Amino acid sequence: MRVLLLGGTTEASLMARILAQAGVDAIFSYAGRTAAPRHQPLPVRVGGFGGTNGLTAYLRDTGITHVIDATHPFAAQMSKNALTACAKVEIPLLAFERAPWIPKPGDNWLTVPDVVNAVAALPVMPAKVFLAIGKQLISVFATRPQHEYLLRLVDSPEAPLPLANANVVIARGPFTEEGDTALMQHHCITHVVAKNAGGMGARAKLDAARALGLPVILIDRPVMPPRVIARTPEDVMTWLGHPACLGV
Ligand code: NAP
């Protein structure tokens, strides 16, 4: 058995620890988006594979027998490429994916299908917007320059931001409700824009928004083709045939 673990999430790091402890032959793959990615207890490769064809060749050349897709729920391109390449090479793929967030009493969420609709859902009058969506899609918000934006990024931006009126906080999760409440109060936030990523550490901003009575514009996950999904490390290990190797 030789596993390719597609990473970039807290879940992927958790799975890496469990696979390493179980002695499973596995390779961890990063896209290479952050300057200082977390250390992993597995051999690591960094960077794109070169689309579906590149990934297909990689799977064949390295003798991968199983792929665990533990990428972010919004990393749809990578996930679709992995499905296609695994089908070509005829090896099994499992998506280790956190459940989406569902509203709790007191949450004031407007769910939208994509980032363009998130922009359209902002008010016309100037607002102070916590744009908690990473850095890749923020340029779309340049069409609403009347708002003041708060961005939270993992790395300092290397190029000027596409948003003129933006404050940047550099921080890496997990975050807490107390910390995010203080952050939003400090910046007098009136609206939160977030992706429905799921998980614990990133939920803090939604709990803080509820505590402060703020509206949240929540972007839905991209629609994926049907695939096998595991919600827990136990399920992943059972799928691999290693049910006893837990406890990390
Ligand atoms: P994406 O749009 O689905 O992927 C774009 C391309 O990046 C892929 O086609 C692939 O290039 C490369 N890539 C993505 N993940 C990779 C991985 N784990 N290993 C090797 N290559 C990878 O993905 P994205 O939204 O840019 O996300 C990139 C990474 O950041 C992922 O690892 C994801 O888990 C993490 N992340 C994403 C988000 C988000 O909101 N999208 C949030 C937090 C973390 P090739 O086609 O050349 O193979």
What pLDDT score was predicted for residue 243? 67
Determine the Cα–Cα distance for residues 165 and 6; give it in Å rounded to an integer.
35
174: tokens are 């997990």
Query: Is residue 76 in contact with ligand 1, taking CB distance under 6 Å?
Result: yes
Domains and CATH numbers, the chain: 3-99+223-240 (3.40.50.720), 109-219 (3.40.50.720)
In the prediction, which pLDDT does 199 show? Answer: 84
Atom of ligand 1 nearest to the CA of 79: 3
Ligand 1 in reach of 33 Cβ (< 6 A): yes
CB 148 within 8 A of CB 163: no
What contacts 14, CB < 8 A, 6 or more positions away? Answer: 233, 248
Q: Which residue from 217, 129, 117 is spatially nearest to 206, judged by alpha carbons? A: 217
Amino acid, single-letter form, for residue 99: A
Strands 93-96, 66-69: pairing kind: parallel
Phi/psi for 25 (5° steps) reads -70, 110
8 Å CB contact between 93 and 30: no
Residue 110 pLDDT: 98
Q: What is the pTM of this model?
A: 0.89
Is a pLDDT exceeding 80 seen at residue 247? no
The CB of 30 under 6 Å from ligand 1? The reply is yes
Q: Closest Cα partner for 161 from 178, 174, 149, 175?
A: 149
Reported confidence tier of residue 244, pLDDT bands at 50, 70, 90:
low
d(CA 165, CA 173): 24
Please identify, by atom number, the ligand 1 atom nearest to the C-alpha of residue 77: 3
CA distance 23 to 109: 43
Please enumerate in sequence order all residues whose Cβ is within 8 A of that of 130, keeping only pairs 6 or more positions apart, or say none: 149, 150, 152, 183, 184, 187, 189, 191, 192, 193, 205
Out of 4, 71, 74, mutate this one to test ligand 1's pocket (max ligand atoms within 8 Å of CB): namely 71
How many angstroms separate the alpha carbon of residue 8 from the centre of ligand 1? 8
The pLDDT of residue 242 is above 90: no
Q: What is the Å distance from ligand 1's center to 193 Cα?
A: 21
Atom of ligand 1 at shortest range from CA of 195: 40
- For residue 41, say if its preceding peptide bond is cis, omega within 30 degrees of 0: no
pLDDT given at position 158? 87
Average pLDDT over residues 76-98: 97
Which one-letter DSSP state was computed for residue 154?
S
Residue nearest to atom 17 of ligand 1 (CA): 31
